Amino acid sequence: IYTNHTIMISDCPTTVHGLQSIFQEQEMTETVHDTEGHGYLATFIGKNGRLVILRVTALGLLTIDLQCCEGDNIVQVENLLNTLEEKLRSLLHGNIKRVKRLPALTRGAAVDRYWPTADGRLVEYDIDRVVYDEDSAYQNIKIMHSRQFGNILILNGDVNLAESDLPYTQAIMGRGKENYAGKEVLILGGGDGGILAEAVKLNVYIDQMVIDGCRTHMRKACGSVLDNLKGECYQVLVEDCVPVLKKYVEEGKTFDYVINDLTAVPISTAPEEDSTWEFLQLILDLSIKVLRPTGKYFTQGNSANLTETLALYEEQLGRLSCPVDFSKEVVCVPSYMELWVFYTIWKK
CATH T-level topology, domain 7-92:
Double Stranded RNA Binding Domain (3.30.160)
pLDDT of residue 199: 67
Residues 220-243 have pLDDT tens digits of 887 877 788 787 777 787 888 889
Give, rounded to a whole angstrom, the gap between the first and last alpha carbons of the chain. 57
Mention the CATH class of domain 161-347.
alpha beta
pLDDT, residue 233, reads: 78
> What local confidence, expressed as pLDDT, does residue 11 receive?
58
According to DSSP, the residues that pair with 210 across neighbouring strands are none
Per-residue pLDDT at 127: 96
Q: Give pLDDT, residue 1.
A: 45
Burial class (CB in 10 A: 0-12, 13-18, 19+), 195: buried
Catalytic residue set: 261
Sign of the CA dihedral running 200, 202, 205, 208: positive
Q: How far apart are CA 207 and CA 234, in angstroms?
A: 17
**How many Å separate Cα 265 from the centre of its chain?**
13
HEC string for 234-287: EEEECCCHHHHHHHHHHHCCCEEEEEEECCCCCCCCCHHHHHHHHHHHHHHHHH
With contact defined as beta carbons under 8 Å apart, do 10 and 37 qualify? no
Question: How far apart are alpha carbons 228 and 119 in whole angstroms?
Answer: 37
Sequence ranges of the domains in the chain: 7-92, 161-347
Please, what sign has the CA dihedral across residues 144, 147, 150, 152?
A: negative
In the prediction, which pLDDT does 129 show?
Answer: 95
Contact between residue 255 and residue 186 where contact means Cβ atoms under 8 Å apart: yes
d(Cα 53, Cα 67) in Å, to the nearest integer?
9
pLDDT at 102: 85
**Can you give the pTM of this predicted structure?**
0.81
Q: pLDDT 10s per residue in the chain (348 long)?
A: 445 555 555 556 778 888 888 999 999 999 999 888 888 899 999 988 899 999 988 877 888 999 998 888 889 989 999 998 888 888 877 677 777 888 888 888 889 999 999 988 999 999 999 999 999 988 899 999 999 999 999 999 889 999 999 999 999 999 888 888 888 888 888 777 777 777 644 454 556 778 788 888 988 887 877 788 787 777 787 888 889 899 999 999 999 999 998 888 876 556 555 677 888 888 999 999 999 999 999 999 999 999 999 999 999 899 888 899 999 999 999 999 999 999 999 999
Other C-beta atoms within 10 Å of 57: how many? Answer: 16
Q: Residues with Cβ < 8 Å from 137, sequence gap 6 or more?
A: none
Q: Do domains 7-92 and 161-347 have the same CATH topology?
A: no
